[in-house]
Amino acid sequence: MTDDPPFSPALLPAGFVDLLTPDARTEARGVATLMDVFASHGYDSVRPPLMEFEETYLAGAGVALAEQCFRVMDPDTRRMMVLRPDITPQIARMAATRVAGSPRPLRVSYAGPCVVVAPVAAEESSRQIMQTGIELIGPDSPEADAEVMSIGAEALMRLGVKDVSFDLTMPPFIPALLEEAGVPAAQRPALMRALDRKDAAAVAQHGGALAATLIALLDATGAAEHTVAQLAELTLPPKARIVLDRLIDTVAAVREICPALRMTVDPVEFRGWKYHTGVCVTLFAVGRSEELGRGGRYLCNDNEPACGLTLRPDVLFRMIPPTPARARVYLAADASRQEAAALRSQGYATVRGFASGAQAEAEARHLGCGIILSGTQRVDLA
C-alpha cells in the first residue's frame, strides 16, 4: 500500500498497550494477591506455554476458540502453532495428559497473558488479555461449582474490588428445553434470537406451546433468590427440569458459603459461551460494563468434568487503588552503602545520585525523592 498514513514510532496495534507505573505495579501485585488466595485453598500453580500446536490446542475445549487464534508456522516441524487466546483449554489438555495421574479432585491455578484476534466483548478493546484463574478438575457437583465461585468472590474481596455481581447462567438449558419440548428445528433460530434479545413479544410469536413457559423464564431473570423461587414453581419437561435444578442447587451451594454475595440468575442466557457444558458465571462490577471474569463447567479433553473461573487482572487493576510505590531516598554521592542497604530493607527505594549539597536536593526532588541520604545522615525534604 502506498497511501498509508505516516507511521508513528509510538503506535501500537489496537488492543496492545504499554502499561506504565503505577498500573504495571498494581496489576502485578493484584495477580500475586489472587494467586495467593488460590494457593490458600490448595490450588497449585501451573504455567502452560504461550504457544501450542494448532492440532493440540483446538482438540477438545479449544475448538470453539479457533477464530480467536493467531497462527504461525513452526519452522522445525512445519506444523501450525497458535498463540493461546485462553488458558483454560490448556488446562483441559494437561488434565488429560501431563497431570492425568495426579490425585483428584485436582486443583490448579495459573496466571499469564493471552492474545485474541479481536476483542472478546463489545465493551472491550484489549487484544492482549491477562488471565488469572483456577480450575477444579474431577468432581461434578453444585458444591464444586460453589467452591470455585466462592474462591473467586474471596479473591476479589482481598483485592478490594467492591460491589461485584456474580451473574449465573445455564447455557445448555434452553437448547435442552427446546429439544425436549419438540420445537421444530426450523422454528428454533428465530426463537433463540428472540430469547437472546429478551423480546417477549417475539418469544410469544415463535414459542408455540412453550411460549408461556419461556416468558415465565424471561420474567424470572434477576436477583438469585427471586429467580430460584420462580423457577421452582415452573412446570418443565423432566430432562429440562434436571438441568435447571442443577442451576438452582448451585445457587443454594454458593449462598451457603457466601451469604452476602450479590448474585443474579438468568436461566435463558446461552450466548457467548464457547465450550461450557453446565452452570456458568460472569462477574461484573455494579455500574460498569466490562467483565471482571468468567467461568463455568466444561469437560477436559478426555471428558473429565471440570469447573473453572478466570479473573482479568488487566481490568481489575483499574478498579482498585494503585499499589503505592516505595518511598524514595536519594543517595548523595557520599551516601553510606550500609545505611542505604538498611533503608532498602526497611522498605524504602534508594535512588543512586551523583550529586551532593544543594545540587543533590534539586536532583532528589526531580527524581521524586522525599529524603536525601548523605553519609549516614538522613535529611527529609520539606
Distance from C-alpha of 135 to C-alpha of 107, rounded to nearest angstrom: 6
Q: Is 131 annotated as a binding residue?
A: yes
Give one DSSP letter per residue of 332-374, joined into a string. -TT--HHHHHHHHHTTPEEEE-S--HHHHHHHHHHTT-SEEEE
Mask: binding to a copy of itself, 294-313, rule CB under 8 A, as x and -? -------x------------
Distance from C-alpha of 35 to C-alpha of 28, rounded to nearest angstrom: 11
Distance from C-alpha of 162 to C-alpha of 240, rounded to nearest angstrom: 35
Chain position carrying cell 416468558: 215
Which of 294, 293, 297 shows the shortest CA–CA distance to 278?
A: 297
Q: Is 86 annotated as a binding residue?
A: yes
- Report 125-154 residues binding a copy of itself (CB under 8 A): 128, 139, 141, 143, 147
Only segment of 87-95, 239-247, 260-268, 284-292 that touches a copy of itself (CB under 8 A)? 87-95
User: 22, exposed or middle or buried, with CB in 10 Å at 0-12, 13-18, 19+?
Assistant: middle
**Count of residues that interact with a copy of itself, criterion CB under 8 A:** 89
Residue 337 touches a copy of itself, criterion: CB under 8 A: yes
Q: Is 135 annotated as a binding residue?
A: yes
Residue 83 touches a copy of itself, criterion: CB under 8 A: yes
Q: Which of 99, 190, 371, 379 binds a copy of itself (CB under 8 A)?
A: 99
Residue 261 touches a copy of itself, criterion: CB under 8 A: no
Task: Give the 3-state secondary structure of residue 123.
Answer: coil
Residue 234 touches a copy of itself, criterion: CB under 8 A: no
CB of 363 to a copy of itself, least distance (A): 9
Q: Is 88 annotated as a binding residue?
A: yes
Query: Residue 35 in contact with residue 45, Cβ under 8 Å?
Result: yes
Q: Which of 34, 111, 279, 285 binds a copy of itself (CB under 8 A)?
A: 111
Q: Which of 42, 160, 322, 375 binds a copy of itself (CB under 8 A)?
A: 42
Distance from C-alpha of 218 to C-alpha of 203, rounded to nearest angstrom: 9
Residue 381 touches a copy of itself, criterion: CB under 8 A: no
Residue 201 touches a copy of itself, criterion: CB under 8 A: no
Residue 239 touches a copy of itself, criterion: CB under 8 A: no
Distance from C-alpha of 258 to C-alpha of 260, rounded to nearest angstrom: 6
Residue 117 touches a copy of itself, criterion: CB under 8 A: yes
Q: Which of 348, 360, 373, 374 binds a copy of itself (CB under 8 A)?
A: 348
Q: Choose between 108 and 265: whose C-beta lies nearer to a copy of itself.
A: 108
Q: Is 242 annotated as a binding residue?
A: no
Q: Which amino acid is at 329?
A: V
Which cell is 370 given? 522525599
Burial 204-226 (b: 16+ CB within 10 A, else e): eebbeebeebbebbbebbeebee
> How many residues comprise the chain?
382
Q: Choose between 51 and 379: whose C-beta lies nearer to a copy of itself.
A: 51
Give the orientation angle of helix 224-233 with respect to helix 238-257, to 10 degrees.
150
Cα separation of the two ends of the chain? 58
Q: Which of 34, 61, 95, 96 binds a copy of itself (CB under 8 A)?
A: 96
Q: Choose between 128 and 230: whose C-beta lies nearer to a copy of itself.
A: 128
Residue 77 touches a copy of itself, criterion: CB under 8 A: yes
Contacts of 190 (CB under 8 A, 6+ apart): 202, 206
Only segment of 45-53, 211-219, 231-239, 273-281 that touches a copy of itself (CB under 8 A)? 45-53
Q: Which of 351, 355, 371, 379 binds a copy of itself (CB under 8 A)?
A: 351
In the annotated binding site for L-histidine, the residues are 86-88, 131, 135, 271
In the annotated binding site, the residues are 86-88, 131, 135, 271
